[in-house]
Chain A
Amino acid sequence: MKKILLLTLVLFGALLLSACGGTVRGTTWPGLAADETTAYLADLSHVYGINIQDGAEVWRFSDPNDNKAQFYATPVLTSDGLVIVGSAGSKHILYALDPHDLITNGDFKNPAVKWTFTGAGGAWVAAPLIVEDKLFAPNADGNLYVLDLSDGQSQKQPIATIELGGRLWAQPVTDGERIYVTSLDHRVHAVNLADYAIAWQADIAAAIPGAPALGPDGRLYVGSLASKLEQFDPETGAHQSVLDAQYWLWSTPVFDGDTLYFGDLKGNFYSFDAANNKLNWSIQPDGAITANAILQNDHLLLATESGNLYAIGKDGKTLWFEAVGGKIYTTPVVAGDLILVAPLETDFYLAALDSNGRQVWTFPPKK
């Protein structure tokens, strides 16, 4: 009796341990991008191409070289129609997929792989940035890899590897002269586009999981886990804290003229006047905010961890909200008349809402 009890509990313990974190599919939230016709969803072991008219799957891609691979970096689209997406897993491969060259594989269609880059040492969490014919790809190994998109190579070799250090989790931004990269090791880096030399590095004494934002005034804004919004001079890297938020800042500020909108992990949503460095207002809809707000005409769209999508006026008043379900950490994407939302902990991987927040379709992938 005791033996059976012990063995059962040992097995139960093993099962529990194996299933830890199993409340969420995958290991983190998905990456989402879209163009006029297709939504691109990097979720768990697949990248999906989904028709935005009806939510039907057009194609899917899984890593043929790594059965442990997961995709959660936001896919990036090139001007010639390729979808660039990196994997996390054991091999960390960056793929360029061609959705115009589909191969039928049983019930599914798979895009052809046009090129790969296999030289990274860490997971691909951040979306890369395309500047003309160069791809700037930040990796969790601390390197910013520069790839030439026009060299015709199927096995890419970086034309430059810029060692920045720390874990690079956020998509860089550029003002045409420099590229700005944030790091979990507390630093903001500026790299010259002309020669890939590091122009400056600044330590703000707190991890920076989100991407930087460039304001219309040319200044750089970065939120950090010190709950501060930092303002940078892009020329020199001189910086100052311009706002003490209520809690950790993750989402990237969105600009509307001189006004920035961003949220924190306690669920506060801020409107900040960058011209006068003063807070206009803050509200607390519900749930942590990791997703960026989206500026749409006269209002903002905001997704929260509670699974709700809010339309918020520029005065901070809620115009409408829709309970999408699950937990939303991924920044929604506006594609045509639709708002695409990729929640976790739901039966579906993607939902499309109309401009009033009504659900149009959902996408549960076929097994």
Chain B
Amino acid sequence: MWNLFVSLFINILLWIYNIIGQNFGVAIILFTILIRIVTWPLNAQQMKGAKAMQDLQNDKEWQAIQKKYAKDREKLAQEQMRIYRERGINPFGSCLPTLIQFPILIALYQSIIRALAATPLDLLKLSQSINPNFLDVANLIPLNSKFLWMNLGQPEPYYILAIIVAATTYIQSKLTLPPATNPNDQSAAMGQSMAITMPLMLGWFALTFPSGLSVYFITSNLLGIIQYAAQGKANWSNLLPKSMRKE
């Protein structure tokens, strides 16, 4: 099943690579755009879920049960679930779309490695992943792994991509953070924490894994920023230092 998923990615990637004149970097960028379009409803759901959870933190009934059952965690959980049910909120609704990114990320990583076929085993796996009736892959191999200054099958050695990946991830995280109006708002605190953790982690990925994956991260982040901005939900003031923000 997993192999089928990776094979699907490889076939689409190679098809794009073939029709755009055999540039693997551009193929990754276009493929990322395709993935963002396909996962658009999920991202929209994520934003909706995050907004609903944020609103809940400022809700009087919600705050009241937090106080009332502060020492009875079981009862508090029951009451929270009741509110979720009554208002049609999925408490994990804002996490799930993020989690779906992981299988995509891993499949893309495997697709890039397999498609660039740096070792005989990768080339063999590629032969077992492609549909020869769909693509004349024999003629495409070896793929052109050069893109700008990078070898897409190798980590980028100058740390430039790692910095851009970390920066765009940070900017995207910050833009999507709603202003925290409640000092006890747990989801805002979590958002702040993730806004630091995720850029560091993806930056480390960019240092460690093939640069083709970094191209995916950067494209995906930029598209995310554009998506939020286009919907008028980007919170640009979050990029300013606290002292300069208009609260």
List B contacts of A20 (CB < 8 A).
106, 109-110, 113
Complex CA–CA separation, A205 to B139 (angstroms): 6
**Cβ contacts B220-239/A at 8 Å (1 or 0 each):** 00000000000000000000
Chain B interface main SS type: helix
Complex CA–CA separation, A9 to B119 (angstroms): 30
Q: Tell me the minimal C-beta distance from A267 to chain B in angstroms.
A: 11
Q: Tell me the minimal C-beta distance from A121 to chain B in angstroms.
A: 12
Interface residues of B in 155-207 (CB under 8 A from A): 186-187, 190, 193-194, 197-198, 201, 205
B63 at the A interface (CB under 8 A): no
List A contacts of B113 (CB < 8 A).
20-21
Complex CA–CA separation, A226 to B140 (angstroms): 10
Complex CA–CA separation, A16 to B209 (angstroms): 12
Q: Tell me the minimal C-beta distance from B122 to chain A in angstroms.
A: 7
Q: Is the CB of B138 within 8 A of A88?
A: no
* Residue among B124, B132, B186, B187 having the largest count of chain A Cβ atoms under 10 Å: B124
List A contacts of B190 (CB < 8 A).
2-3, 6
A329 touching B120 in the complex, CB below 8 Å, given contacts A3-B193, A224-B138, A248-B127: yes
Q: Tell me the minimal C-beta distance from B83 to chain A in angstroms.
A: 15
A207 at the B interface (CB under 8 A): yes
A13 at the B interface (CB under 8 A): yes
A288 at the B interface (CB under 8 A): yes
Q: Is the CB of B139 within 8 A of A24?
A: no
B105 at the A interface (CB under 8 A): yes
Interface residues of A in 332-359 (CB under 8 A from B): none
**Cβ contacts B109-132/A at 8 Å (1 or 0 each):** 110010000111111100110001
* Closest A residue, CB atoms, query B119: A28
A86 at the B interface (CB under 8 A): no
* Closest B residue, CB atoms, query A16: B106
A308 at the B interface (CB under 8 A): no
Complex CA–CA separation, A366 to B42 (angstroms): 50
Binds A, one of B7-15, B27-35, B91-99: B91-99
Q: Is the CB of A7 within 8 A of B102?
A: no
Chain A interface category by residue count: 35 or more
Interface residues of A in 20-39 (CB under 8 A from B): 20-21, 24, 27-29
List A contacts of B127 (CB < 8 A).
225, 247-248, 265, 288
A27 touching B121 in the complex, CB below 8 Å, given contacts A2-B92, A184-B141: yes
* Closest B residue, CB atoms, query A3: B190
Interface residues of B in 131-148 (CB under 8 A from A): 132, 137-139, 141-142
A316 at the B interface (CB under 8 A): no
* Residue among A14, A18, A227, A329 having the largest count of chain B Cβ atoms under 10 Å: A14
Q: Is the CB of B95 within 8 A of A72?
A: no
Q: Tell me the minimal C-beta distance from B108 to chain A in angstroms.
A: 10
Q: Tell me the minimal C-beta distance from A343 to chain B in angstroms.
A: 13
A272 at the B interface (CB under 8 A): no
Q: Is the CB of A227 within 8 A of B128?
A: no
A17 touching B138 in the complex, CB below 8 Å, given contacts A2-B187, A7-B197, A125-B120: no
List B contacts of A224 (CB < 8 A).
138
Q: Is the CB of B141 within 8 A of A225?
A: yes
Q: Is the CB of A9 within 8 A of B197?
A: no
Q: Is the CB of B142 within 8 A of A9?
A: no
Q: Is the CB of B119 within 8 A of A290?
A: no
Q: Is the CB of A207 within 8 A of B141?
A: yes
Q: Is the CB of A17 within 8 A of B109?
A: yes
Q: Is the CB of B124 within 8 A of A265?
A: yes
Q: Is the CB of A227 within 8 A of B138?
A: yes
**Cβ contacts B41-61/A at 8 Å (1 or 0 each):** 000000000000000000000
**Cβ contacts A206-235/B at 8 Å (1 or 0 each):** 110100000000000000111100000000
List A contacts of B194 (CB < 8 A).
6
B interface vs A, CB < 8 Å?
A: 91-92, 95, 98-99, 102, 105-106, 109-110, 113, 118-124, 127-128, 132, 137-139, 141-142, 186-187, 190, 193-194, 197-198, 201, 205, 208-209
**With A3-B193, A5-B95 given, can you name 12 additional A-B contacts, CB distance below 8 Å?**
A5-B92, A9-B99, A17-B105, A27-B121, A88-B119, A207-B123, A207-B142, A224-B138, A226-B139, A248-B127, A265-B127, A288-B124
